[in-house]
Amino acid sequence: MGISEGRVVIVTGAGAGIGREHALEFARQGARVVVNDVDSPRQVVEEIEGMGGDALADTHDVSEPDGAQALVDGAVNHFGALHAVVNNAGILRDRMVVNMDPAEWDAVIKVHLRGTFLVTRSAAAYWRARDKAGTPIPDPRVVNTSSPSGLFGNVGQSNYGAAKAGIASFTVITADELSRLGVGVNAIAPTALTDMTAGLTAYVDKVRKDSEEAGFDVGSPANIAPLAVWLASPDSAGITGRVLTIKGGEIAVAETWVKGPRAVKQGRWEVAELGGIIPDLVARARDNSTISGESRG
């Protein structure tokens, strides 16, 4: 028996890449999987069925309220319950901010951030209704997908990074809001090579170099799935509101914004005073991190 035996799990954006690996690993661990993808979920469903698993293909657009609700309703109607959601669906529209069309900004924010919100909202409403009816779902879980681009920044990805940073904050807040229902809410920030990253030459080259040094494929999407599956399981009880980075064989807890060096006075600061205060505070503060999570200094 696997860690997900008897559980019903939705994975969005599961037709390829990281989402596909999530769906396959959930099936290996005993889950019945709803494979959501607007393009090609059927092939993954067939792979799961070929393994002896049980899966349902779903093509609803999770960035639309009706689509997100239909996804959740479909899982419950087909399998009789819903235990966990992995919000993985996403797109890229990389562009420097001075050249970015508003439509490129809106498209990325809509799929990543709005889609995560809508599916989580529908799933949480289902879990709350079951709780009120006296038939609570055991160990409900949400696993969101942030990114090092959102946590640490990456040139050319202001839309994608903003969406992924928003998902990290959304994770922290909804973990608090849904704790009374026993819902664990966490996020992963994965590094992997997929069709979405094919055009990011410097990023791809860095991951391939890391793979040579590590002696295994650091960029394989399959590296990410075990963490997502574990976080969506009952074994993750007590861990909520966290964002974890994962790259190859490395897992780390991404620590949230904290107050660094500070200056305090009684009363309001005057503009003329700040030139003697802010540079010193910044000089004593920890450097921002690179996309690899290392100091820029």
Cβ atoms of residues 167 and 146 within 8 Å:
yes
Can you read off the two tokens belonging to residue 170?
Answer: 């959304």
Pick the catalytic residue from 4, 146, 147, 149.
147
DSSP one-letter string for 128-167: HHHHHTT-PPSS-EEEEE--HHHHH--TTBHHHHHHHHHH
Can you read off the two tokens belonging to residue 195?
Answer: 């069709």
Q: What is the DSSP letter of 280?
A: H
- Least Cα distance to 238 among 197, 189, 186, 277 occurs for 186
Q: Is residue 209 among the annotated active site residues?
A: no
Give, in order, the Cα–Cα distances in Å from 184 to each of 163, 200, 297. 21, 33, 36
Q: Please tell me the distance from the alpha carbon of residue 43 to that of residue 69, in angstroms, as a whole number.
A: 23
Count the alpha carbons within 13 Å of 41 in the hemisphere toward its beta carbon: 22
Cβ neighbours for 76, distance < 8 A, ≥ 6 positions apart: 82, 126
Q: Please tell me the distance from the alpha carbon of residue 9 to that of residue 4, in angstroms, as a whole number.
A: 9
Pick the catalytic residue from 63, 160, 203, 236.
160
Cβ atoms of residues 87 and 22 within 8 Å:
no
Pick the catalytic residue from 63, 164, 233, 247.
164
Greatest alpha-carbon span in the chain: 71
Cβ neighbours for 258, distance < 8 A, ≥ 6 positions apart: none
- Give the E-state strand segments of 146-295 in sequence order: 184-191, 243-247, 250-254
Q: Is residue 169 among the annotated active site residues?
A: no
Q: Is residue 295 among the annotated active site residues?
A: no
Q: Just list the catalytic residues.
A: 147, 160, 164
